Structure 1
Amino acid sequence: MKRILAALAVAILAAGGGAAAGYWFLNSGSTQAAQTAQAGGAAPNPQNAVNQLWLQNVTNADGKPQSLAMFKGHPVVVNFWASWCGPCVEEMPALSQLHRDYAKKGIQFIGLGVDSEKNVKTFLQKVKVDYPVFVTGFGGADLARAFGNNAGALPYTVVIDAKGNVLSTKLGEIQPAELKRTLDAL
């Protein structure tokens, strides 16, 4: 039991540190494209990322294959998360509330678990989430990177309008008021 608690503490600290480092990295005054260019890579192409999202192979928590293409043409809030990520778990009640608040406006929230099917299923049996959650496995990290998450930390949230334009990205725990401003502009 002590080993499990120690491992959990290390995982929480690592996730928090990753989110803090990612937050600092993204908010240090330079743009994402400039950061990517400095790293010697190409700037992320949001349209390519959106197309990858619609083609992504995912399953639901019961392991049944699903297509994200059903969300194409609708405003979508995509939240990359993992069951072992403390900030991910912390923001889920706020995301669920925002999903309920904005459902009447046609805005769909989806969770993409960058985790194993077993972990996602176990997590969802314990924690109620009001929006659809899919399993991407660790390939979801590559998809998040396509949206500009070069830090590779979680949670990572992307807002896409009905035309497929990326309106905002957020590394780290969402701030409900900040996300509401983006959603109110849709």
Structure 2
Amino acid sequence: MNKKHLAAYVAVAALFGVMGAIVAINKKEPAPVTTTMAPTGGAAHSAVDKFYAQSLNDLQGKPQSLAQWKGKPLLVNFWATWCAPCVQEMPELSHLADEEGGKRFNVVGIGIDSPTNLSEFAEKLKIAYPLYVGGMGGTELSRELGNKQGGLPFTVLIGADGQVIKTYLGKLKFDELRADLAQLKS
């Protein structure tokens, strides 16, 4: 290979390197996919009725009825310890739950993971809201609430009337979430 060819290869490689750097710098994190479910004329969505009919174990292994959260707006976050965006959003979600203190809405998390992994993680991060063990059944529960892609994190905002107000697939944008929460009717 002569020096002209080598210089051309180096120039092309450098050009691709610069283009890659420009793309990486300008790459924006994708916005979460948000959806709303069709209104039911004031009746609870059947998926929400099924949700509230469930009992899941808390992190101490005690069964907890999800019906205890009926009657007040509820933010349900499906997550896993192995899901990087889930782990990234949990401290801010915990801060939001702690700041709210259940006055206008409650926050619960349903872990799609083993009880041991969930417990160790929650202890390390000091999560301020109730966490439940959904296991792989939690994936199906999230699908029933609108998570057609089956991705995580997946968050559902349920109104006091049992209506699914909005769902969020992907890492939460907290400015959007706070705006949605400000619109809640208790």
Shift of 1:32: 8.0
Could you tell me how far apart the structure 2 residues matched to 1:183 and 1:105 are?
Answer: 12
Which of 153, 159, 184 is 2:151 aligned to? 153
Question: What is aligned with 1:61?
Answer: 59
Which of 120, 123, 126 is 2:121 aligned to? 123
After superposition, the Cα gap between the structure-2 partners of 1:104 and 1:32, relative to the gap in structure 1 and judged at 3 Å, is: closer
Could you tell me how far apart the structure 1 residues matched to 2:111 and 2:93 are?
Answer: 14
Verify: 1:113 aligned to 2:111, yes or no: yes
Could you tell me how far apart the structure 2 residues matched to 1:121 and 1:105 are?
Answer: 26
Could you tell me how far apart the structure 2 residues matched to 1:126 and 1:144 are?
Answer: 25
> Following superposition of structure 1 onto structure 2, how do residues 1-186 of structure 1 map, counting pairs within 5 Å?
23=32, 26=33, 47-103=45-101, 105-186=103-184
Could you tell me how far apart the structure 1 residues matched to 2:164 and 2:102 are?
Answer: 21
Q: Identity of counterpart residues, as a percentage?
A: 43
* SS of equivalent to 1:122: helix
Shift of 1:162: 0.7
Aligned-CA RMSD value? 2.2
Shift of 1:185: 0.3
Q: How many residues align?
A: 150
* SS of equivalent to 2:100: helix
Could you tell me how far apart the structure 1 residues matched to 2:118 and 2:51 are?
Answer: 19
Listed as ranges, the gaps of 5+ residues in structure 1 are: 1-18, 34-45
Q: In 1, are the aligned partners of 2:112 and 2:134 still within 8 Å (CA)?
A: yes
| Structure 1 consecutive aligned stretches of length 4 or more whose deviation exceeds 2 Å | 100-106
Could you tell me how far apart the structure 2 residues matched to 1:104 and 1:133 are?
Answer: 15
Task: State the Cα deviation string for residues 14-44 of structure 1 (Å, max 9, x = none).
Answer: xxxxx96x95xx47xxx788xxxxxxxxxxx
Q: Which structure: larger Rg? A: 2
Shift of 1:47: 0.7
Q: TM-score, normalised by structure 2?
A: 0.74
Q: TM-score, normalised by structure 1?
A: 0.74
Q: In 2, are the aligned partners of 1:83 and 1:123 still within 8 Å (CA)?
A: yes
Shift of 1:104: 5.8
